[in-house]
Structure 1
Amino acid sequence: MSQSATRPVSATVSALSLPASCDVLVIGAGPSGSACAATLAAAGWSVCLVDQHDFPREKVCGDGLIPDAHAALRRLGVLDEVMAHAQHVSHVRCVAPRGGQVDVPGTLAVLPRRVLDHLLVQHAQRQGAQLVTPVKFDAVIEENGRVVGARLRQGEARPEVRARWVVLATGAGVQPLVATGLCTRRTPSGIALRGYVHNPSLAGRQTTMDVVWDRALRPGYGWIFPCGEDTYNIGVGAFFRQGQAADANLRQMFDDFTRVYAPARALMDGGTLQGDLKGAPLRCTLEGAASGRPGLLATGETLGSTYDFTGEGIGKALETGLMAADALLSGARDGLDEAAVRQRYDQHLATLRPKFALYEKANSVNRHPWLADLVIWRAQRSASLRRRMSGVLDETSNPGHLLSVRGMLRLLAR
């Protein structure tokens, strides 16, 4: 893979053995798990953070950092460090089926997850969290109906770690949800496929984060995001109605993307694919899993923290990880019992649910891409609409309003 997709960061130091017990066992060291672990460790809690992979490691993602991710990284205290490695981008280019396009400004960056997640896990270690990799999760340990730890696999060993709390941050995989009894929906909300392409001939030409809708890409879209150093993240994603099987042919969608969008075709024809195209499921709209049970909290994409419509998940993964840590810390400070801690966490999550509902509504663009033609056609002629679209990125505008009946009538009337 090219250097831009593997920007060097110092090696992660992993403990050789697991502790017998700790205050909090965090299973999964992606953005949500690392954010939670770092916050708790910084407050003086003993935290064991485990992941099934050594770092740095790959993660299928679009790699885009939009304003909610910037805000969460700032709160975590790593924004400047992350931005020093990231490719800064000034606009998202929205491209409609008929070729209309509009550039929407925003506070944006792109950083491959191989680098981002490594930086975040190193931050958690600096705060005092003990990282142990590679460790796989098998099952929770229960006593009197309460989770009190987990059974893990570390090579040939089958260690157990006892903890006051377990935080499950294992991503979109369904097996850990089933094993913990939190799963309420096995099917994913969507699926995505991405690759990295090195193409020096596009230097200075492909500078925006392109999001492309087309009939051939229903019920999803394609993207090209610049990673820096002449390397680009290119991919497609498909989103599904609740309960609908995720049966899209992503490889066909990817081929269709390069057929219908000339910059995607130019990128692939003149570039070198770095590694293989890789796919992964998506869990969206804070649905498909319970938020926890006695002794256990779920966070990040395990909980469904990825947005419908855009597929953006890094920011909300970080936010939910911080919320889990906040609930545990404030519960200890206020002397709350376990049920009250979980209730406080649910109250934190409830502040996010209206946003997810709006993105779920806006997901109609992916099913009916002609809506993108209408919105982009009007945005080309309306500075106020472009500001509203920019507001969707920084969460000051409602994406659902753009696509409501009233919103459609307003667009047609202008």
Structure 2
Amino acid sequence: MRVVGSLWRSVRSLPSWLQIVLLGQFVNAAGALAWIYLTLYLVDARHLTSANAGLLSAINGVGLIAGNLFGGGVGDRIGMRRALLAGLLGWAACCAAVPITPVVALGPLLLVAGTLGGVTRPLMSAVVLSALPVDQRRTGAALWRVAFNAGAIIGPPLGALAAGSHFGVIFAVDAASSLILAAVIWRFAPLDSARPSRSSRAGALPLRRTLRGKRFTVAVLVTVVVVDTSYRQLYVGLPLELHRLQAPTLVYGLTVTLNCVLIVLAEVWVALRMARRPPAAVIAAGYALVGTSWLLFGAHPSVPTAIAMVVVISVGEMLYKPTATAAVADAAPPGYEGRYQSLYAGASISGTVLAPAIGGAAFGHHPGLLWLGAAVAPLLAAAALVTVRTARPDAESDYGVVSAPS
């Protein structure tokens, strides 16, 4: 009950417009089905081979990464709200177009769709975090993730039922949920501030120069790439190992659901409890738990240790992900909020590309090699982050230390 009470008080402490936006995010996450079922749709409804379906899905993934990397820069130039609305409306249009597009034109369409879908993540994060004072950003990031994961619990099972009837329903639902979030953003999100003049944009520092002297921020971005690759073995190595153990497919589905449920129930409570801790310590502790989870599983792979691993890795995720998101937001100079969130989004999503390649190759060679690497990499990342923090104890890594709410 204390956890639920903390979650409710945290939501009530936010501005009313942001509460409504988070509700819209929940609806959008519940309807975000197209990318989940894309490969299956291409094989089942479009009768493509698994190789061709995988290629088209990969093209969509390339667009997704590009959108994450460049969306924040677009938002800094034309306004976060304006760019977010364009991304949501464009993604909805692409979703509606997929079922009626000839196969030969699906590649370009999915590339554009992925790019438009990708821009929404850093822009949504920037809209939420830039509207909050520093002492609420960790909680705000946690609540954003809770809204997303709550929707992710509900959406996929409903999507499976819809796919059984007609695959086109999935794309219609995804488009509709994006339009709902766009309507909420348009109606309730604050208007963008005045756009910078051309002369001021010309005199602005290049992004890389704003990072000079921000060793902690750079360390967070680099180590997140490493840890995210390890974390995402949850979606690559774990299902392969459970299949090797001849566990029912349902077992893997339940582990993913368990991860989402734990985040929804406990992430905000964890964020509040960690509010007095320096970001570096919280992030490093999260990294260490991610590594420990794979040590636990690798020592004796089985269904019980898989469940225990998911619990430990979920706690690690709750520690490092919202804290790292807020730390990067705190480091952003005025006018660079979107680009800094794109840097973090690009780093945190990198594992979707690296994890399958590394995990598949390592597992094929020897599963134990994968578990060892997945454990050691986050532990080294934690040590590196602590080293950077210790070397510069008065640096920007102290940002975001606040008094915990009573």
TM-score between both structures, scaled by the size of structure 2: 0.25
TM-score between both structures, scaled by the size of structure 1: 0.25
Q: Which has the higher helix share?
A: 2
Higher RCO structure, 1 or 2 (CA under 8 Å, sep 6+): 2
Q: Which has the higher strand share?
A: 1
